Amino acid sequence: MAGCSSAATFKPMAETFALDLTQRPRRLRRTPALRAMVEETVLRPADFIAPLFVVDGKPAPEEIKSMPGQFRLNIADLVKECRAIHKLGVPAVALFPKLDPKLKDDEGTQALNEETLILRAVRAVKKAVPELAIITDVALDPYTSHGHDGVLTAARDDVENDRTVGLLARMAVLQARAGVDLVAPSDMMDGRVGAIRTALDAAGYTGTGILAYSVKYNSAYYGPFRDAVGSAQAAGTRLLSKATYQMNPANRREAIREAQLDAREGADMIMVKPAGAYLDIIREVRDATDRPIAAYQVSGEYAQIHAAARLGWLDLARTRHESLLAIKRAGADMILTYFAKEMAAGLKG
């Protein structure tokens, strides 16, 4: 058509258009060196706590099918693993026992046996790697035939709070006597932190700290862990409801209340569990207390990252790093994660 020029006579807009900007955030992303200089959150081996599972009498490590790369270890192998973890710069391990079902009963009485598995394991690790901090779980679910974290009411429809707390306080004293650095009540009974602190002090263990599972949600992400310690099988289901004592995932303000209560009762550290789906809660708790904050990247989080990676949907190394970075960025001072050993090895290398 007359008067019309062909498209070839026009210069592409990108060649002529420029923004008049003084602020260009991409300047600081231009090279690896610049990105490193302004990096706000950095992961290091000392940020991690490695959860480990111990079992009696197994001749070789037994892989946990729902948690690829994680094993139930006998005490000798547990000691070897703790040595390796310590050499990588991970400062602490959290130990969890898997008992023979024949040793379990409704009252969880094996938890108060001075030669129970977890106490023998603690003594062995402390003797072999005294510099490594040891954290032990204070809850009855590995010991009860019904899989709950305490003793049941007469109607068997709930956990009896105060009687359970009395047992937990005795359990914590036994763990302190075995040499643990931190006892970690994960049961979510009311008043247990104060009772444990009183019992520890009365027994002379004023130096034993309390890492309180203060903000523990009734989460669907715990299934593989229950397989690992055998509490799911003991209860007959992986979907055991603990809704009367663990927190409702819908609640935010309640998390602050629980954290502040435990701090007042004597908790030295506060935990949020799970971590990945509760980053907002980690930040809220961080802003509400001056106690160190731990966050637990739980078994279901670990398992889903592995499952997606095996299907080729996610890059395992990048995803695990990003997931842990997010937890620390949200405000966690330390992270319990099943990735602890491999992350520490990668960061150290």
**pLDDT tens column, 9-50:** 555 555 678 999 999 999 999 999 999 999 999 999 999 999
The pLDDT score that the predictor gives to residue 236 is 44
Instruction: State the DSSP string of 17-77.
Output: -----S--GGGGGSSHHHHHHT------GGGEEEEEEEESS-SS-EE-TTSTT-EEE-HHH
Q: Which of 15-19, 234-238, 337-341 has the lowest mean pLDDT?
A: 234-238
List, by residue number, the catalytic residues: 216, 273
In this model, does residue 227 exceed pLDDT 50?
A: yes
Q: How far, CA to CA in Å, does 275 sit from each of 52, 123, 279, 335? A: 18, 30, 6, 9
Token couple for 333: 């001072």
Give the mean model confidence (pLDDT) for residues 62-68: 91
Q: Which residues contact 344 (CB under 8 A, 6 or more apart)?
A: 45, 48, 85, 88, 89, 90
Contact 132, 89 (CB under 8 A): no
- Percentage of the residues of the chain whose pLDDT score is greater than 70: 93
What gap in Å lies between CA 205 and CA 160, rounded to an integer? 27
User: 43-348 sits in which CATH class?
Assistant: alpha beta
Domain locations in the chain as residue ranges: 43-348
Predicted pLDDT at 314? 97
Using alpha carbons, list the distances in angstroms from residue 307 to 302, 303, 326. Answer: 9, 6, 20
Grade residue 237 by pLDDT with cuts at 50, 70 and 90: very low
Under DSSP, is residue 238 helix (H, G, I), strand (E, B) or coil? Answer: coil
pTM: 0.91
Task: Give the pLDDT band (50/70/90) at residue 57.
Answer: confident
**Spatial CA neighbour of 277 closest among 340, 217, 333:** 217
Tell me which H or E stretch contains 295: strand 293-297
Cα–Cα distance for residue pair 345/348, rounded to 1 Å? 5
- Give 20-31 pLDDT, tens digit per residue: 999 999 999 999
Question: Residue 334's beta-bridge partner residues?
Answer: 294
- Kindly report which listed range (178-187, 191-200, 209-218, 228-237) carries the lowest average pLDDT score: 228-237
> If you search the block for the tokens 């398992």, which residue do you land on?
303
pLDDT value at residue 239: 46
Q: Do residues 136 and 180 lie in contact, with contact meaning Cβ atoms separated by under 8 Å?
A: yes
pLDDT (average), residues 55-78: 92
Confidence bin at 324 (pLDDT 50/70/90)? very high
| Mean pLDDT computed over 180-204 | 97
Q: How far apart are CA 335 and CA 273, in angstroms?
A: 10
pLDDT (average), residues 87-101: 96
Pseudo-torsion of CA 145, 149, 151, 155, nearest 10°? -90
Distance between CA atoms of residues 272 and 336, nearest Å: 10
Encoded tokens for 173: 């004293």
HSE-CB for 234 with a 13 A CA cutoff: 26
Lowest average pLDDT, out of 37-51, 109-123, 229-243, 293-307, goes to: 229-243
H or E stretch covering 330:
helix 316-330
Report pLDDT digits (tens) over 202-225: 999 999 999 999 999 999 998 888
pLDDT of 268 higher than 50: yes
Mean pLDDT of the chain: 92
